[in-house]
Amino acid sequence: MKYVLVIPDGVADEPQLSLGGKTPLQAARLPAMDEVARMGIVGRTDNVPASMPSGSDVGTMTLFGYDTLEFHTGRAPIEAAAQGIQLNVGDWAVRCNLVTVVDEVMSSFTAEQYPRDSAKQLIELLQKDQCGDSHWKYHNGVSYRNLLIYRARGETPPFTKLTTSTPPHDITNQPIAEYLPSGPGSDELRTLMSRSRELFANAAPNLARIAASDHPATQTWLWGLGQRPALEPFLKRFGVRGAVITAVDLLRGMGRLIGWDVIEVEGATGYLDTNYAAKGRAAIETLQRDDIDFLVVHVEATDEASHEGNTAAKIKAVEQIDSQIVAPIHEWLQQQGDYRLLISPDHPTFLRTRTHSHGNCPFAACGTGIAANRLATYDEVVAAQSDVGFPEGHKLMGWFLKQDGT
């Protein structure tokens, strides 16, 4: 049996006035996803507990079958695992965005998709400034997504579970003052953020962007901090060997923490320009391996479109996922024997608010042992009509992998 989960990140949404009251999923042309719906089951899954902030760290951990109320410790330690950064007792990882703040308002949480080479220069500048401190170490990531590691080195860390921070993508076009880190150790984070403003003001990459009429990265934004989670290996938990295809460190880190292979794909960017077709081809190549039973294909583009409030881009992205990923994968699965295919986002991301939201996500699953529930399309409205739902989303994975389909 081969199992596949396709995650169109943040694709779940609300009805749009610009689409005549349809959601992007309803407005998009999705023959492959609709075929999965017709052949199998359409239902709902709630992947983000109401008591937790909505984000892919919570949503994907839930989708992979882990109760986030038990296992989740923060976003940054998952991304640290993606970079092979070992967190010891007392160590904390902190997500470090490069952002553009104008007149104390969050203008861009990505500093307009800050170029990777330029981002590396800024991170090196930050690290050089901190090289005399034994606790802090900056790590370059991809574009605006970077990390800051606190090494305890036998001392009591300044942070606790009461330390709070806000994802910058939740406050686009809002004043930042009330969203700065708070609680134990937050003064240190605020000091580092303030220091980054001074360092970035005359940094060469920023001056070059200003000269080219592009937005500079005006500062860092520190958030998502936590310690290494203790996750049971997926193979031990569910009895299948997994792999993940993704362009973002969060999913790479989750995969490594639960014992999956991480498959790198040339041209996968984590943005709207990602190479959808290459992901589809890599998925089929990976599924042909005898040592892989279960494959996750994650696509960030739909989420990025929502963060930009770009309805047309969101529709185009999900149509690309449908035609270049879901369609070829499903065709291959049907030819090779027993299989199951699941499609589900990790959380809703609303075009209206440009940020992640709580609430149900539609899923569609088909394949061996899954009897059809006679719902014909994959979208939020049809899913709301289904009698199949998982209010505790971490239970969906166990259902999907059960051999009898019950």
What pLDDT was estimated at residue 405? 39
The span from the CA of 339 to the CA of 136, in Å, is 47
User: What would the pLDDT profile of 339-383 be if each residue is shown by its tens digit?
Assistant: 999 999 999 999 999 999 999 999 999 999 999 998 999 999 999
**Mean pLDDT in consecutive groups of 10 residues from the start of the chain, 406 residues:** 98 97 98 98 97 93 97 93 92 97 96 94 96 92 93 95 93 96 97 98 96 96 94 96 95 95 95 96 98 98 96 98 98 96 98 95 97 94 97 97 58
Q: What is the pLDDT of residue 402?
A: 87
Per-residue model confidence (pLDDT) at position 66: 97
CATH entry, 2-72+231-401, from 3.40.720.10, 3.40.50.1000, 1.20.120.450, 3.40.50.720: 3.40.720.10
CB-neighbour burial class of residue 70 (10 A; exposed 0-12, middle 13-18, buried 19+)? exposed
Domain boundaries, the chain: 2-72+231-401, 82-226
**DSSP E strand stretches across 62-187:** 92-102, 105-108, 136-142, 145-150
Cβ neighbors of 320 (< 8 A, separation 6 or more) are 276, 301
Q: What is the pLDDT of residue 324?
A: 98
pLDDT at 374: 87
Residue pair 75/226 in contact (Cβ under 8 Å)? The answer is: yes
Task: Give the length of the chain.
Answer: 406
Tell me what percent of the chain is helix, strand and coil, each rounded to the nearest 5. Answer: 35, 20, 40
Q: How far apart are CA 219 and CA 194, in angstroms?
A: 7
Secondary structure of residue 393 in the 3-state scheme? coil
User: pTM here?
Assistant: 0.86
Which pair of tokens denotes residue 181? Answer: 């880190």
DSSP string for 338-390: SEEEEE--SS-EETTTTEE--S-EEEEEEETT---------SHHHHHH-S-EE
